[in-house]
Amino acid sequence: MIQIGKINQLLVAHENKSGYYLQSEDKKDEVFMPGSIAPAGIKLGEMREVFVYTDIKGTPLATPEIPMVELGGFAYLKVIEVVEFGAFLDWGIDKDLLSPGNQQQQKMKLGESYLIRVCQEEGTRRLYATNNLSKFIERKNIELTINEKVIALPFEKTQLGYKALVNEKYQGLIYHSDIFSEIVLGERIEAMVKLVRPDGLIDLTLRPTGMKNLKDSGKLIMTELERAGGFLPLHDKSSPEEIKRILKISKQSFKRAIGILYKQRQIVIGSSGIELAGDNKRKGV
């Protein structure tokens, strides 16, 4: 069976002056590939990986080009043309993807990028993009736990942080205070669940939470102390920006971690900073 909106492995069955006909493995379905876009060296009888889409009339066509996203998937795509009835998005193949005006949460702007889902119109089978995503986001049955690793797709920067699609089905937020590396909109990253909120949204962090985070932060602080000769000019009065610059962790994680290290007598906390305790104490301090 040939699937529209999906990547298919098809047999190059026969050709005519206009192009090639590709068949499904059971030879029950067939789709046309125009000769103008056929790959060089294509041969009858071989299997080819192609993407199947529809033209404006809903007729299925095959292309050797592979899009950034398939039917039912989400992607962060850029608007390359705005017309009266919608906007066309670049999704990696020659035929641009239409987002009709009635499928736009807000009127799309030329050159801007948006998180969209690829859908299929009933009857015509034509593919289109929508960014009216609320009905595709699960907010009731959240099958996630704290510290669980997830794949996040950041799609919008806000005052609090970055909105992100989580595991292709939930919506989350990565707070600025939990970001310790560059975030690029549209690039999937690995994150961890910090909190599942009552409203069904997910708080995310780019670092482990709970005791594992404290242990990791403690190890990091000890390592950096050793590298610095036993002393770091950081303490509980240091600014969050200074702590983040030197250690790449939040001030909250820093304060909790040095509290544990102090109780374990591994460090000494002074007015000017922290230093290794005992035999590891920095010379001259």
| CATH code: domain of residue 172 | 2.40.50.140
The pair of structure tokens assigned to 143 is 């099958």
Q: Are 115 and 131 in contact (CB under 8 A)?
A: yes
Query: DSSP E strands: which ranges in 138-236?
Result: 149-157, 161-166, 170-175, 189-196, 202-205, 231-232
Owning domain of residue 43: 7-63
pLDDT exceeds cutoff 90 at 160: yes
- Cα three-residue angle 189-190-194, rounded to 5 degrees: 120
* pLDDT tens for each residue of 227-264: 888 889 988 888 888 887 888 777 777 888 888 888 78
- Residues 235 and 270 placed together within one structural domain of the fold: yes
pLDDT of residue 9: 93
pLDDT of residue 261: 86
pLDDT of residue 250: 75
Helix (H, G, I), strand (E, B) or coil at 90: strand
Per the structure, the count of domains in the chain is 4
- Residues 214 and 276 placed together within one structural domain of the fold: yes
Mean pLDDT, rounded, for 146-173? 93
Phi, psi of 76 (to 5 degrees): -105, 105
Q: Give pairs for 249-255: CB < 8 Å, separation 24+.
A: 249/180, 249/207, 249/217, 249/220, 250/177, 250/178, 252/177, 253/207, 253/213, 253/214, 253/217, 254/217, 254/221
Q: Of 43, 63, 83, at which residue does a domain stop?
A: 63
Mean pLDDT, rounded, for 39-57? 91
Complete DSSP assignment for 106-136: S---TT-EEEEEEEE-TTT--EEEE---GGG
- Cα three-residue angle 151-51-80, rounded to 5 degrees: 70
23 assigned to some structural domain: yes
CA atoms of 24 and 203, how far apart (whole Å)? 44
- Residues 51 and 99 placed together within one structural domain of the fold: no
Q: Of 180, 205, 230, at which residue does a domain stop?
A: 205
pLDDT exceeds cutoff 90 at 70: yes
Predicted TM-score (pTM) of the model is: 0.72
pLDDT of residue 283: 42
189 assigned to some structural domain: yes
Percent of the chain with pLDDT over 70: 94
pLDDT exceeds cutoff 90 at 3: yes
Averaged pLDDT score across all residues of the chain = 88
In one letter, which amino acid is 180? F
Looking up tokens 């809903």 gives 58
pLDDT of residue 281: 55
224 assigned to some structural domain: yes
* pLDDT tens for each residue of 177-190: 888 777 899 999 88
pLDDT of residue 285: 38
